[in-house]
Structure 1
Amino acid sequence: MSPRLDEPRTHNATSACPQGLTESDSPAAAVLDGTRNRTTSSGSDTSSSDDDNSTEGVTGLEGLPEIPPYAEVGPLDARALSKTLFARLESLEEGSHEYSYVRNTLVELNLALVKFAASRFRSRSEPMEDIIQVGTIGLIKAIDRFELSRGVEFPTFAMPTIIGEIKRFFRDTSWSVRVPRRLQELRLDLAKAGDELAQQLDRSPTVGELADRLGITHDEVVEGMAASNAYTASSLDAKPEEDDNEGALADRIGYEDHGLEGIEYVESLKPLIASLPGRDRTILSLRFVANMTQSEIGEELGISQMHVSRLLSRTLVKLRKGLTLEE
């Protein structure tokens, strides 16, 4: 059924949790409470949910439309209901029971946005319910930041925040460089063993101590430690923690100097140029050192531009052959 926006709220208004879910089972409630409860679906309503979210006798919620079961609310109806709830949310005191009720209802009404955004990442290895959980955090952030006065539809405003939160989740929990599963598991074992030994020894364990604890070789410990560097990528603009006076990493990494390639050719050309006739050396100097045109060279030497072109071409061919023979 479609919600009636002009119908005042009655004493038997629907709970802020979807039909068939307790409040603690709701994805929104799981995020708001800081838990990671699994979203379940059962075929019967729970009376505790209705009791916890009942607005009978609560001031500040009079005149709100009755919220039907969320499964029956279409996108257009959810958008219209959200506008009404956002308008009421602005008049309520943050932290009050009324404020929490309206905010939670907005989350439940717009969970379809999270599921749509999460579906774009279904090919990832992470469980879909984890992605939805993270996306719900983005939805809550969008609800807290949204203002009706901006004149923007809430789905348009919320979607970048939801997707951004999901992408941040993958960025923070994914390996920067792909490494074998064996090394990923070894990294976790080393981290656990390192923490345990550090507590026992009151210092950082050595490679040998880690190897003895895990029953592996020294080389395997070193390999696992190296794999840890692939988990997070460091920025080239980041400065080293141990010395703030040092520049960024990018300033200390060598770069390819293409000018060095020319030095080798210059040194190889010197004896070849020295063996050329005097006029050919003069033409080369006027063309490539003085940057004169062929016409200007012709005037300087008293010959035609065409003659200069032929002499220059012949000289360059001779030099190329000489370089090829040396290589």
Structure 2
Amino acid sequence: MTTSVTTDTGTDATTLPELDDPAQVAPGDARQLTRLFLQRLAELEEGTAEYQYARNTLIEMNLSLVRFAAGRFRGRAKDDMEDIVQVGVIGLIKAIDRFEVSREVEFTTFAIPYIVGEIKRFFRDTTWAVHVPRRLQEARVHLARATEELTGRLGRTPTVRELAQLMSLPEDEVVEAMLASNGHTCASLDAAIGQSEDGESALADFVGSEDAAFDLVEDLHALAPRITELDERERLLLHLRFVEERTQAEIGERLGVSQMHVSRLLSRLLARLRADLLPAP
């Protein structure tokens, strides 16, 4: 079944086959048809129905090329493989729009770098658990290759110095790249990690939390030397108020002074201790 396409002059041009399901075209036929459709696409006016038909058919006819390129990322893809294919289709569309028939280059050779590049960009920009600078993302890739090469050559895990020599990088940058590798994936705190007497254990069960009592302990240790510097009456005043928790009236009776005087004594004493403990503003 064919459809007639026309040039800008309105005269009939070479007819393009109208395919019922372009995605099901055999690879051998797809290569020849792709060449034909690309030639006609270069002649047609962008935005016309004929142009859209040729372009859409090229996309569907080369989906197998996208799946082939995406297959090499199967081990790295946490996402559904179809999502990776959709990203690769963006690269395919860019290749179709930028291909020049006059260069006489095989379309497959031209399109694969676009497809793979788009998928790599997707992994680089969206799959890191935390933000990692671009240079460290790239260093991580070189580190993986260097580690694999040296492991095979030495028969053991290479040292940082050996990796730095092979990668021609300072040792601290190699260490940074190792740390950056940890940012590529992360584990959920709710992830199950084993069984316990109370049932299934999660990572969060083993993560410590901040104890508010630590701040109190630090404050008491800082305060203790200042307390020893007070005279006996001042220490008694603090003991009655904050240890025995007596009221100011009760403290006044004990010390033989008025409640108002107890209030002034406490205020001056606490202000002095506070000034000793806290840095000057």
Given the two structures, how large is their TM-score scaled by the length of structure 1? 0.39
User: Does 1 or 2 have the higher relative contact order (CA < 8 Å, sep 6+)?
Assistant: 1
The structure that is strand-richer by fraction is 2
The structure that is helix-richer by fraction is 2
Given the two structures, how large is their TM-score scaled by the length of structure 2? 0.44
